[in-house]
Chains A and B, each alone.
Chain A
């Protein structure tokens, strides 16, 4: 990680204005967005969008040609190119041919992408942004910090200062007054501009139409007042049919700004009359800039389904801490990381890809059905393939790949760590070893790991089923009592537990770091170990491990070309189940009863990322805890990441810490004395947080709470 990058994170997190504005916005956004989508089947809507847009992405060449033919038939001039330099040259040529002195622009990320303003200004043409946020940014000489709200990082005081300088008159910090100033100043620019430049939100091949979506009304003026209109359109905006605009217009305003529709939507098909009676000179530039290359990449073609609503930024726990400038490029946030890797260069995303904590929030709300976390993982994988792993990481995973050595070191750590054990907390285990080397963290490894305790557990002889227990590193070496609780519960339901000694790290830390070779070796070792016994279930009380076993082994092995392992990976996946889901099934089947009629008081429940968004198990743990006699008091943002993110909390503690603080605050706000969760990683993070915080809140894994409530 570059030093400047780290410093920019520090500056952003320390900027109270920025984090305050983004934090408040993201909290309100979630509520408002849900309201805007009332009465709409979001899953059906986004499936339609994904289908139409992926169809377009698969036929870009044909659609671009159809669009060009249809728009030209209406009298527009269409210029197609892959090269941003040619785009700029073309627009300059058009400007010069019309003797253009000044340009007004409505918001266009594509023009930002190619730095068009600077280019035109160098040629002596005055370029005025007219979207209020873009104008503020232009006056401040900054880059947009958010795709939809470019100036969200600035205060009204800062804006008043900028405007005062611009109009040479002291302007007060009153927002309506500031907006009036912008209206007046920009109105004059609109009326005298020789050329208007816009982007487009949608380009319809069938009709040669451009669709522009705005709230301020500036795009209407940009496309109406000057004699020349140039629209710069990235080819990912193409759709095949006119009726494709309906699902996009239904989702875009709702997802972007929680509006049912923006104030204005303009559908422009060919040149229209200007105020002097002639037809407008309309130029449409269809820009590729690696988009069709992206469309041909099996892992990244889905990125072309993006409708640029920016909702992935709005729900991102990291974005609301750092804002957009940390990303250093035009496109920011999760989608920005992916676009930067393509529109610039892969290695330009090297630092920013590390910002993603893989919580999956963005995937849940994306109207284009993009799996942004997956694409960021793919960027990691390719970076590692291209440049190799960082040395320290390579050394660690070298150990993780040798189970005997790895476990040996964990045991050694339990001894070595003892003097420092007073309330210290380790990080996600395979990476805690690097903590040992730089002496930063204080490991609290169990004196006796679960694998040593297991043989001493007495299990009933008359069990009718068998479950293979996958402990995962954390339960095995840090929280063996969770494993013991799980065995007790399984036994009570008539299930014998086996613990294959050869099981090792699930490979998630390696995979999430892009080290697929390591993750692949972990997968193969575990498949062999876990399928060796005949069993009905493979159960884990760690959602991240469960996801690895049930969803990722196959993908990891396939991407490494180990197709011969796929049948076994599938066999393992089919048997794998998370703890709460299995127990709920057993309770429902009458095989397990919890003590009834208990009044155990309130607790609040924290949804772990993988359990909620990959395994989709939100209700089973809550229902079980209620059945056990707890009153579940929901906390604000119960499903927001706790900031652990495996090794994330170690790589970026300055981001992990404030996310954790927010979580602790939300837990405390409920007044519940207990917080339950299903992930030992979350337990470590949140327990560690409360240990520092000194608040009297018990942090428990659901398995521990349920084991106490078994009917004898």
Chain B
């Protein structure tokens, strides 16, 4: 399932990585942010919207080391290079991430930034939309977002161009063992 998801997501321009646990994922994310950094206070390098991944983690060193902000206002998101959110589900057949983004911070971090890092519990990759139906409920989740690759357009001369209004890069970080109560 993971392999199909990875192939489909990469097919539409996403970057897909897989790590055993949170430590492994952080060991990827922090140098990534450092490389993409360049933002000095008051601008953050990255905004990280509330996610199960963060539960139990000491956030203070992250703020200092990587310039991450966990308070996602529209100004912070608009100024940040990277936004981090956590998807609940992924669809293998189309390479799609699915996330309840009712909380506005989740949308800001994943739509205003240049790069969107999406965390994903590897075990939550499911076959397709039909499998998803029993897992989402629009009455409980007011804003369900499907994200498939980076923002794209072909409106000028049908030439595919990445990064119109949304992120120009989608980096998917699959984590096999989220630890804690991750869904």
| Residues of A bordering B, CB below 8 Å | 21, 24-25, 28, 74, 130-133, 136, 149-152, 154-156, 159, 175-176, 178-180, 182-183, 186-187, 190-191, 204, 207, 209, 215-218, 220-221, 223-225, 242-243, 246, 249-250, 257, 259-275
Q: Which residues of B contact A179 (CB under 8 A)?
A: 153, 156, 161, 163-164
**B interface: dominant SS:** loop
Q: Could you tell me if B153 and A220 are in contact, using CB atoms closer than 8 angstroms? A: no
Other A-B pairs beyond A215-B164, A224-B111, A266-B144, 11, CB < 8 Å: A132-B156, A136-B155, A154-B156, A155-B157, A175-B159, A215-B152, A217-B151, A221-B165, A249-B129, A257-B154, A263-B149
B 113-140 contacts with A by CB, 8 A: 129-130, 133, 138-139
Q: Could you tell me if A267 and B96 are in contact, using CB atoms closer than 8 angstroms? A: no
How far is B95's CA from A259's CA once the two chains are assembled, in angstroms? 11
Q: Which residues of A contact B152 (CB under 8 A)?
A: 215-216, 263
Q: Which residues of A contact B155 (CB under 8 A)?
A: 131-133, 136, 149-151
Q: Could you tell me if B154 and A261 are in contact, using CB atoms closer than 8 angstroms? A: no
Taking the closest CB of chain A, its distance from the CB of B155, in whole angstroms, is 4
Tell which of B29-37, B46-54, B101-109 binds the partner. Answer: B101-109
Given A133-B155, A216-B153: A264 touches B146 (CB 8 Å cut-off): yes
Given A216-B165, A261-B96, A263-B151: A250 touches B142 (CB 8 Å cut-off): no
Q: Could you tell me if B74 and A191 are in contact, using CB atoms closer than 8 angstroms? A: yes
Taking the closest CB of chain A, its distance from the CB of B5, in whole angstroms, is 12
27 pairs from A and B in contact (CB 8 Å cutoff):
A74-B142, A133-B153, A136-B156, A150-B155, A152-B158, A179-B153, A179-B156, A179-B161, A186-B165, A190-B165, A207-B139, A216-B166, A220-B145, A224-B104, A242-B138, A249-B129, A259-B12, A260-B12, A260-B93, A263-B12, A263-B151, A263-B152, A264-B146, A265-B148, A272-B102, A272-B104, A273-B103
* Candidate in B74, B112, B164 with the most chain A CB atoms within 10 angstroms: B164
Q: Which residues of B contact A152 (CB under 8 A)?
A: 158
Q: Which residues of B contact A249 (CB under 8 A)?
A: 129
The yes or no answer to B17 lying at the interface (CB within 8 A) is: no
How far is B5's CA from A623's CA once the two chains are assembled, in angstroms? 42
Given A21-B158, A225-B74, A273-B103: A183 touches B163 (CB 8 Å cut-off): yes
Given A215-B151, A261-B96: A132 touches B164 (CB 8 Å cut-off): yes
- When C-beta atoms are compared, the residue in chain B nearest to A216 turns out to be B164
Q: Which 6 A-B pairs have the closest CB atoms?
A: A217-B166, A133-B155, A265-B146, A216-B164, A217-B151, A267-B144
Q: Which residues of B contact A130 (CB under 8 A)?
A: 165
Taking the closest CB of chain A, its distance from the CB of B125, in whole angstroms, is 15
Q: Which of the residues B96, B130, B149, B166 comes within 8 Å of A220, measured between beta carbons?
A: B166
Taking the closest CB of chain A, its distance from the CB of B144, in whole angstroms, is 4
Taking the closest CB of chain B, its distance from the CB of A1, in whole angstroms, is 31
How far is B161's CA from A182's CA once the two chains are assembled, in angstroms? 12
Q: Could you tell me if B111 and A221 are in contact, using CB atoms closer than 8 angstroms? A: yes
Q: Which of the residues B93, B104, B139, B144 comes within 8 Å of A273, measured between beta carbons?
A: B104
How far is B142's CA from A268's CA once the two chains are assembled, in angstroms? 5
Taking the closest CB of chain B, its distance from the CB of A154, in whole angstroms, is 8
Q: Which of the residues B94, B147, B156 comes within 8 Å of A260, measured between beta carbons?
A: B94
How far is B60's CA from A107's CA once the two chains are assembled, in angstroms? 42
- When C-beta atoms are compared, the residue in chain B nearest to A277 turns out to be B104
Given A175-B161, A179-B164: A270 touches B145 (CB 8 Å cut-off): no
Number of CB contacts from chain A to chain B under 8 A:
161
Q: Could you tell me if B157 and A156 are in contact, using CB atoms closer than 8 angstroms? A: yes
Q: Could you tell me if A269 and B142 are in contact, using CB atoms closer than 8 angstroms? A: yes
Given A130-B165, A204-B138, A263-B147: A159 touches B104 (CB 8 Å cut-off): no
Taking the closest CB of chain B, its distance from the CB of A141, in whole angstroms, is 17
The yes or no answer to B28 lying at the interface (CB within 8 A) is: no
How far is B152's CA from A324's CA once the two chains are assembled, in angstroms? 23
How far is B152's CA from A555's CA once the two chains are assembled, in angstroms? 47
Taking the closest CB of chain B, its distance from the CB of A32, in whole angstroms, is 11
Given A220-B111, A261-B94: A159 touches B156 (CB 8 Å cut-off): yes
* Candidate in A154, A175, A176 with the most chain B CB atoms within 10 angstroms: A175
How far is B156's CA from A265's CA once the two chains are assembled, in angstroms? 22
Given A130-B165, A217-B111, A218-B165: A266 touches B156 (CB 8 Å cut-off): no
Q: Which residues of A contact B150 (CB under 8 A)?
A: 263
Given A268-B142, A268-B143: A176 touches B78 (CB 8 Å cut-off): no
- When C-beta atoms are compared, the residue in chain A nearest to B104 turns out to be A273
Q: Which residues of B contact A261 (CB under 8 A)?
A: 94-96, 146, 148
The yes or no answer to B6 lying at the interface (CB within 8 A) is: no
Q: Which residues of A contact B107 (CB under 8 A)?
A: 220, 224
How far is B148's CA from A263's CA once the two chains are assembled, in angstroms? 4
- When C-beta atoms are compared, the residue in chain B nearest to A149 turns out to be B155
Given A263-B148, A265-B146: A275 touches B73 (CB 8 Å cut-off): yes
Q: Which residues of B contact A149 (CB under 8 A)?
A: 154-155, 158
Q: Which of the residues B74, B111, B129, B156 comes within 8 Å of A275, measured between beta carbons?
A: B74
* Candidate in B78, B102, B112 with the most chain A CB atoms within 10 angstroms: B112
How far is B157's CA from A175's CA once the two chains are assembled, in angstroms? 9
Q: Which residues of B contact A224 (CB under 8 A)?
A: 104, 107-108, 111
Q: Which residues of B contact A243 (CB under 8 A)?
A: 133
Q: Could you tell me if B166 and A263 are in contact, using CB atoms closer than 8 angstroms? A: yes
The yes or no answer to B69 lying at the interface (CB within 8 A) is: no
Q: Which residues of A contact B78 (CB under 8 A)?
A: 187, 191
Taking the closest CB of chain A, its distance from the CB of B121, in whole angstroms, is 21
How far is B129's CA from A21's CA once the two chains are assembled, in angstroms? 34
Taking the closest CB of chain A, its distance from the CB of B112, in whole angstroms, is 8
Q: Which residues of B contact A131 (CB under 8 A)?
A: 155
Q: Which residues of B contact A268 (CB under 8 A)?
A: 142-143
Q: Which residues of A contact B130 (CB under 8 A)?
A: 246
Q: Which residues of B contact A132 (CB under 8 A)?
A: 153, 155-156, 164
Taking the closest CB of chain B, its distance from the CB of A109, in whole angstroms, is 15
Taking the closest CB of chain A, its distance from the CB of B80, in whole angstroms, is 13
- When C-beta atoms are compared, the residue in chain B nearest to A270 turns out to be B142
How far is B153's CA from A218's CA once the two chains are assembled, in angstroms? 11
Taking the closest CB of chain A, its distance from the CB of B23, in whole angstroms, is 31
Q: Which residues of B contact A263 (CB under 8 A)?
A: 12, 147-152, 166
Q: Which residues of A contact B81 (CB under 8 A)?
A: none
How far is B154's CA from A25's CA once the two chains are assembled, in angstroms? 11
How far is B158's CA from A150's CA once the two chains are assembled, in angstroms? 11
- When C-beta atoms are compared, the residue in chain B nearest to A204 turns out to be B138
Q: Could you tell me if B157 and A21 are in contact, using CB atoms closer than 8 angstroms? A: yes
The yes or no answer to B8 lying at the interface (CB within 8 A) is: yes
Q: Which of the residues B138, B148, B158, B167 comes within 8 Å of A262, measured between beta carbons?
A: B148
Q: Which of the residues B95, B158, B164 comes within 8 Å of A217, measured between beta carbons?
A: B164
Q: Which residues of A contact B145 (CB under 8 A)?
A: 220, 264-267
Taking the closest CB of chain B, its distance from the CB of A216, in whole angstroms, is 4
How far is B8's CA from A267's CA once the two chains are assembled, in angstroms? 22
* Candidate in A151, A176, A264 with the most chain B CB atoms within 10 angstroms: A264
How far is B91's CA from A265's CA once the two chains are assembled, in angstroms? 13
Taking the closest CB of chain B, its distance from the CB of A582, in whole angstroms, is 44
Q: Could you tell me if B153 and A207 are in contact, using CB atoms closer than 8 angstroms? A: no
